[in-house]
Amino acid sequence: MPAKLADITLEPPVLLAPLAGITDLPFRQLVASFGAGLVVSEMVASQEVVQARPLARARAELGFDQAATSVQLAGREPYWMAEAAKYVAGQGARIIDINMGCPAKKVTNGYSGSALMKDLDHALRLIDAVVGAVDVPVTLKTRLGWDDGLLNAPELARRAEAAGVRMVTIHGRTRCQFYKGQADWAAIARVKAAVGVPVIANGDITSPDSAAQALAASGADGVMIGRGAQGRPWLLAQVAAALYGRPAPVVPQNDALADLVVGHYQAMLGFYGLELGLKIARKHLLWYLEAAGLEGARAPIITGDDPAQVIRLLRAAFAQQERAAA
């Protein structure tokens, strides 16, 4: 069943997670081209986006007119969260997501992200500020709790729903786990039982099989995929096909895959400019090569600073793979 947020239907309910430094506009557009119920921006610091610091504003360049795009905001002050929400809604954002799940120390040390799970009263002040500032649906992404002694996601979700939040996404780990161990999808079921709004399961969903297992264990209304899509922007469409009967994507191979990777590379260079684009592109190129079993070709491609040469090396690597498979 599709997830509904006011007048917006997330169909299929297979969502791309916000990943700092990864889910920028070029990557979101590529994932969306295969099919996704929703793509979520990188976390944007609320005060920075209001004060128009260049990086934050670049991250907010989302293709706002697209219904299947959400802007994720983070912060610790209600005023800046509300102002940021008004800014991105004014730019055309259709959905605003509040980050209360990021485990990074630079975020939690500033009492943002998952640190807010240690003070639900303050967390609710932020939620109230955002919901009260805009007319578009507001969603929440969080974790099971701060640590094993503070598993308060069900309480936070209940209070968030009462404040007007329209959907809750739960990463099946505590903050103190970071990304270690295995996501506890069954624990998400307690959040699902606590609220009436859609609940989305997140964490360690890297294939159609793991997506089905996460849904069965959690009872969630959909799944959110993050690191599993690195180097495989078609994964969300594959999951949607397996779980919800959507058309299966054509997974590019050989020359077609080379065309996709080169196109993504050029999009990153165009979006960021040459100097920053080369740095940003390296991790994506590495993931593509690893997913294709071409790790041996990575050194000159990853370190290359001449785009034309990098493109020639990419095409040669994928052509060599095709010849080896023949």
pLDDT at 309: 97
Residue matched to tokens 């939620």: 127
Cα separations (Å) of 209 from 206, 215, 226?
Answer: 8, 10, 15
The pLDDT > 90 percentage for the chain reads 66
DSSP string, 139-182: EEEEEEESSTT---HHHHHHHHHHHT--EEEEEEEEGGGTT-S-
pLDDT exceeds 60 at position 226: yes
CA nearest 102: which of 173, 157, 35? Answer: 173
Provide the token pair at 114. 């998952």
Cα separations (Å) of 5 from 19, 70, 162, 303?
Answer: 22, 12, 15, 44
pLDDT exceeds 90 at position 94: no
Q: For residues 85 and 59, which has the higher predicted lDDT (pLDDT)?
A: 85
H-type alpha helices, the chain: 25-34, 46-50, 54-59, 78-90, 105-108, 120-133, 153-163, 185-194, 208-218, 235-244, 254-272, 274-291, 298-303, 307-325
May I ask the CATH architecture of the domain 3-244? Answer: Alpha-Beta Barrel (3.20)
Residues in the chain: 326
If you average pLDDT over every residue of the chain, what do you get?
A: 89
Chain segment 152-181, per-residue pLDDT in tens: 999 999 999 999 999 999 999 988 776 777
166-199 exposure pattern, b = at least 16 Cβ within 10 A, e = fewer: bbbbbbbbbbebeeeeebbbebbbbbbebbebbb
Total-model pTM? 0.92
Burial of residue 137 (CB within 10 Å: 0-12, 13-18, 19+) is buried
Q: For residues 238 and 319, which has the higher predicted lDDT (pLDDT)?
A: 238
Q: Which residues are catalytic?
A: 102
Q: Compute the average pLDDT of residues 99-115.
A: 72
